């Protein structure tokens, strides 16, 4: 009995971690679906990002406060680092992502964003002179071949605007990769939850300020559906995934969490087909398989 009980206790954190990682990946993938649904009501990217961050701001403030209890206040240098990471990792990445979603499908958007591990690897080569093994080069080639496959097919269907949308989303992936590379030491020093909460607050304020500068106040008047979708985006697809992924990392570690997160592209494709009437064909299946295979190869190489 004692042996069975201890085995169940050992499996429980792993099962909970896998469930949290999977749920977090699926919830975060829903961001693109909700954005595409909101665009049907005539809202633009700047306004949509503003509402998403406006509704998320109180929750991120609560996270930052909770994670910072009993810890020393941030220095001037710390605030500068938080501001820079918030700009790159959340403000710029979110703005470019939402802008790109106006021109490409949610499926292609998710596949481009899943190039993030390969971009982190490339930044390590460029910035720190890291060497790349043949297995890693093969992983890069397979992943990018998958994205190019879906991209080439979508260009034939949607026209040249697909290039603009893909470029914007790729810029979002690069911006977030820069955040990941730059935040390594700061996460160890400040804590992942505290840094995420503070950096996200900075991004929220920047997105709200961007709207105030680029749009008249009357642009804030949008369809009620946009407001409800933004609330859902801010809670279920922004704040909740952050918490779930952090809790998953505590239970099963970052590697297994990242591998479990591969359900993200699959869930985006499924939701895109069911909710957006996006096409589902052999090109998308083949591209998705290649991207996931490349990320798997990269994880094994590490």
Instruction: Give the tens place of pLDDT for each residue, 9-50.
Output: 445 677 787 888 888 888 888 898 999 999 999 999 999 999
Residue with tokens 């201890």: 6
Highest mean pLDDT among 62-76, 103-117, 285-299: 62-76
The span from the CA of 48 to the CA of 284, in Å, is 27
Name 92's Cβ contacts closer than 8 Å, sequence gap at least 6.
Answer: 172, 175
Q: pLDDT band at 224, cuts 50/70/90?
A: very high
Burial 67-90, CB ≥16 within 10 A → b, else e: bbeeeeeeeeebeebbbbbbbbbb
Q: What is the residue extent of each domain of the chain? A: 14-301
* In the chain, % of residues over pLDDT 70: 89
Report field, pTM of the whole predicted structure over 0.95: no
The span from the CA of 21 to the CA of 29, in Å, is 12
pLDDT, mean of residues 201-225: 95
The span from the CA of 271 to the CA of 280, in Å, is 11
């Amino acid at each position: 009995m004692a042996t069975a009980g201890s085995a169940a206790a050992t499996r429980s954190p792993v099962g909970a971690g896998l469930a949290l990682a999977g749920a977090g990946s699926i919830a975060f993938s829903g961001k693109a679906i909700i954005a595409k649904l909101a665009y049907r009501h005539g809202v633009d990217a700047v306004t949509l990002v503003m509402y998403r961050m406006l509704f998320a701001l109180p929750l991120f403030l609560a996270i930052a406060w909770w994670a910072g209890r009993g810890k020393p206040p941030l220095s001037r240098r710390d605030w500068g680092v938080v501001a820079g990471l918030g700009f790159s990792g959340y403000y710029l990445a979110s703005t470019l992502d939402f802008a790109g979603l106006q021109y490409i499908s949610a499926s292609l958007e998710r596949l481009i964003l899943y190039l993030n591990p390969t971009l982190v690897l490339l930044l390590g080569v460029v910035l720190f002179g890291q060497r790349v093994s043949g297995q890693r080069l093969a992983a890069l080639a397979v992943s990018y071949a998958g994205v190019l496959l879906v991209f080439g097919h979508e260009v034939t269907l949607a026209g040249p605007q697909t290039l603009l949308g893909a470029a914007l989303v790729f810029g979002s992936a690069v911006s977030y990769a820069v955040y990941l590379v730059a935040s390594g030491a700061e996460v160890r020093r400040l804590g992942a939850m505290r840094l995420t909460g503070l950096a996200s607050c900075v991004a929220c304020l920047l997105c709200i300020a961007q709207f105030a500068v680029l749009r008249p106040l009357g642009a804030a008047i949008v369809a009620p559906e946009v407001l409800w979708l933004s609330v859902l985006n801010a809670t279920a697809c922004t704040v909740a995934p952050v918490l779930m992924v952090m809790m998953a990392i505590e239970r099963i570690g970052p590697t297994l969490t990242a591998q479990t997160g591969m359900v993200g592209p699959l869930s985006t494709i499924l939701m895109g087909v069911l909710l957006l009437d996006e096409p589902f064909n052999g090109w998308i299946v083949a591209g998705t398989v290649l991207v996931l295979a490349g990320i798997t190869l990269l994880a094994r190489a590490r």
